[in-house]
Amino acid sequence: MTNDTITKKYKLKPGLHQFAPGSAAVHCNDNLSDEEAEWYLQRYPHIAKLFSTQPPKGGVIKTISKSTKASDKGGTE
């Protein structure tokens, strides 16, 4: 059985992107595998900003804020 939906770990922002200095802007989500993305990121760490952030599979990113409300410390508001 094949899975028609491909879940990628690395997703580029829209458009074509240049990874290596002096090379053409040819990289997009349609032609870049996770393995290739990891290879490029190891060699050209500055390209990390070309990738969009993705929520974890099956959920949303949960942020925990440091609150100073009295109710958070066991008191009443």
- In this structure, is the dihedral angle defined by the CA atoms of residues 16, 43, 6 and 12, taken in order, positive or negative? negative
Tell me the C-alpha distance between 50 and 14, whole Å.
Answer: 9
pLDDT tens for 37-65 read 999 999 999 999 999 876 556 555 455 55
Q: What is the largest CA-CA distance in the chain?
A: 62
pLDDT tens for 17-43 read 999 889 999 999 999 999 999 999 999
pLDDT computed for residue 45 by the predictor: 94
Tell me the C-alpha distance between 12 and 51, whole Å.
Answer: 4
